[in-house]
Amino acid sequence: MDHRAHCDVLILGSGMGGLAAAALLARDGFRVIVAEKMPRLGGRCSTMDYNGFKCITGVVGVETRGVVQGLFDRVGAGFDVKEAGPPHYLINGQICQVPSRGGMKHLMMAAGAGAMEVETVMNAITGALQWRAPSSDVPLGDWLRQYTSNPRIMEIFQALVSAVLFVNVNELSVHTYFEFLKKLKGIQRFGYAPGGSISLARSLAKVVVDHGGEIWTRCRVNAIKSRNNIVRGATVSRRGKNLSIKAPVVISNAGPKETARLAETGIRDQYYLRELEQRMTPARITALQFSMDEPLFESNHLLVTGTQSLNSVYQPTMVCPEWAPDGAHLLVAGSAPRNSLEPFDGKREIEQCLADLRAVFPGFESRARLLLAGTFQGAWPGMHSLPGRDMDRKTPVINLYNVGDGVKPFGYTGLPGVVATGIDVAEEVMGRNRILTGAP
């Protein structure tokens, strides 16, 4: 080993889960080092400059006035996000705005459902939200089919859960769905960061650095070290050198499986490893980014119903023109396969998403030019686990935690879920430290 370094908390990865924890801990006086293997911050909440466009690496829309903004306010980080306004749906070729009250009712009417049918479904939803949560082992699709056989109603639910939870109505437990509605209100409020999604990561990183923490990019963690089942730090490579970092607490943002691989020699509990294999099912999604001279439609975001795999289309430049060169627009189309467990063929997914775009938007081909086609699966997925199948944030190695989208709290998704894991782990570390040191 060439060198040694030490800190109170080593954070492996600068995704939003890692940075949320790092900002809270640095502010609380912990000496923090964040080791990020990539040259840029943010992981799947970052920005790639390409032909003058701020292309996404993951996060497009950022939840506002919720968990994410709460964390930024708490640590004193700038939260520069412009709100996008109410979501819109594309139903039967018509764009429908979701009103702030009675949204679901309005959508079902737009889908051509009769008054009786709408009332039956609404009563069931009210009961599930306000009286008794439905059984956890029933898929949302089966539960809904008790109250309606209207395929267009099913498609409204499908578009939302596919776009936001990265799963299908026939795969998501109805219990998880209603928990999501209760916890995150279905993410009704969101926006875009004018500086690109990377600006959120940079804003948290600034808090870390302002409070004496360090952020090392191009620094890969090669192994997490432990002795007697207690974490000791990690070995990393940085600027062509190998370095040993001593740390009494390690927080990993690499995803639960990768954490276990890096800590391999320290994890004796085979049942934990088996649980990882059984529970962790990565969400597979496709994101196509296009440049356009004119917007494709008159809103910044559409949830798309009635397609094979396309579920959402964003035009962030309608709200943040900074995301494209002068006068141009960026379009991001998201899709997911209708079966989350079938083998994933990236090329086929991209072709299907393109076919859906052509079918839904007349003249699409002549109006939009493909910039980037990304598929997210396997070790670099849409999310490391499907909703309701997350792992525990603690690992079997004492003081080795996971943060990120493989360990989300129940009912949470995407960025709010990820930020919640960072808050939870940071609070646990701060609380235990107070007990150990006797601090108030």
Partner 1 sequence: MMVVVNPLKCTGCAFCVPVCPNRAISSLGLAEIDKDRCVACLECLDFCPVTALGRGKNRKEPHGS
Q: How far is the CB of 37 from ligand FAD (least distance, A)?
A: 4
Contact pick of 10, 26, 36, 303 for ligand FAD (by CB under 6 A)? 36
Pick out residues in 87-106 that bind ligand FAD (CB under 6 A). none
Contact pick of 22, 26, 41, 55 for partner 1 (by CB under 8 A)? 55
Q: Does 67 bind ligand FAD (CB under 6 A)?
A: no
Distance from C-alpha of 53 to C-alpha of 64, rounded to nearest angstrom: 23
User: For ligand FAD, how many residues bind (rule: CB under 6 A)?
Assistant: 33
Distance from C-alpha of 175 to C-alpha of 192, rounded to nearest angstrom: 30
Residue 191 binds which of partner 1, ligand FAD, none (CB < 5-8 A, kind-dependent): none
Sheet of 219-227, strands arranged across: 3-6, 241-246, 230-238, 219-227
Contact pick of 233, 381, 396, 416 for partner 1 (by CB under 8 A)? 381
Q: Which is nearer to partner 1, 50 or 410 (CB)?
A: 50
CA nearest neighbour of 90 among 301, 233, 291: 301
* Burial 328-350, CB ≥16 within 10 A → b, else e: bbbbbbbbbbbebeeebeeeebb
Pick out residues in 331-360 that bind partner 1 (CB under 8 A). 345-350
Residue 105 binds which of partner 1, ligand FAD, none (CB < 5-8 A, kind-dependent): none
Q: Which is nearer to partner 1, 40 or 279 (CB)?
A: 40
Q: Which is nearer to ligand FAD, 16 or 107 (CB)?
A: 16
Residue 388 binds which of partner 1, ligand FAD, none (CB < 5-8 A, kind-dependent): none
Residue 396 binds which of partner 1, ligand FAD, none (CB < 5-8 A, kind-dependent): none
Distance from C-alpha of 400 to C-alpha of 179, rounded to nearest angstrom: 28
Residue 14 binds which of partner 1, ligand FAD, none (CB < 5-8 A, kind-dependent): ligand FAD
Q: Does 38 bind partner 1 (CB under 8 A)?
A: yes
Q: Does 404 bind ligand FAD (CB under 6 A)?
A: yes
CA nearest neighbour of 222 among 208, 203, 237: 237
Unique residue bearing structure tokens 């960072």: 422
- The DSSP symbol for 163 reads I
Q: How big is the CA angle at 301 (ends 295 and 303), to the nearest 5 degrees?
A: 120
| Count of beta carbons in the 10 Å neighbourhood of residue 17 | 34
Pick out residues in 214-253 that bind partner 1 (CB under 8 A). 218
Q: Does 191 bind ligand FAD (CB under 6 A)?
A: no
Burial (CB count <10 Å: 0-12, 13-18, 19+), residue 91: buried
Is there a contact between 263 and 224 (Cβ–Cβ < 8 Å)? yes
Q: How far apart are the first and last CA of the chain?
A: 39
Binding site for partner 1 (CB under 8 A): 37-40, 43, 48-50, 55, 57, 218, 345-350, 372-381
Binding site for ligand FAD (CB under 6 A): 12-18, 35-38, 43-45, 58-61, 220-221, 253-254, 258, 285, 287, 376, 382-383, 404-405, 414-415, 418
